[in-house]
Amino acid sequence: MEWVGLDFDIPTKQANFRVIYHSEVITDLSKLMNDFSFMDELDLDSFPIQHEMKLSFKMDEEPVSMTDFQSEPLPIDFDESVSEDLVLWDVYEEAFSGDGSKIGGYGFFTQQDPRSYGKKYKGHSVMLLQIDSDDDAIIWGDSGVANFFITQEDLKSRNFTNVLYNWDCY
């Protein structure tokens, strides 16, 4: 459980995590899984979510965050001074960090966006879900964040077999 299902070499390899799409919400309770005895074998002390909980979302807009690889081509000089001891990078990053739990939007990373390492994952530009650490209810390592990204084509065709999963921490 140390890496919470993440394969650093192949972050789309769904061997120890899975994104599953259901075209219809299951309302027949008899069809829902209710035997979780397999979880008794897992070391849940290191799992980032310690108990059941819900996440609530609201519709919003946001500009690209500074840690999302898609911010690289912005036509802005982020080294420009705003004041004697402050540059534009600091102001933008403070206002538009991209942190928090959300569906859609731009990613927040405590380290580096894995999509910036090369061309292989740049197409995974749609964020399905981001789960951020939240006090003691959710803790990814040392107050980190988890992200799930998909390509636009895979999302349109409802193909969730190539989802990029990443989590990092400070």
Superfamily grouping for domain 62-168: YwqG-like (2.30.320.10)
Contacts 24+ apart (CB under 8 A), 48-53: 48/4, 48/131, 48/133, 48/138, 48/139, 48/140, 48/141, 48/146, 48/167, 49/137, 49/138, 50/136, 50/137, 50/138, 50/139, 51/137, 53/137, 53/138
pLDDT in tens, the chain (170 residues): 468 889 989 999 999 899 989 888 888 888 888 888 877 777 777 788 877 878 788 999 999 998 999 988 778 788 888 888 888 888 888 889 999 999 999 999 999 999 998 889 999 999 999 999 987 688 888 889 999 999 999 999 999 999 999 999 98
Domains in the chain: boundaries: 62-168
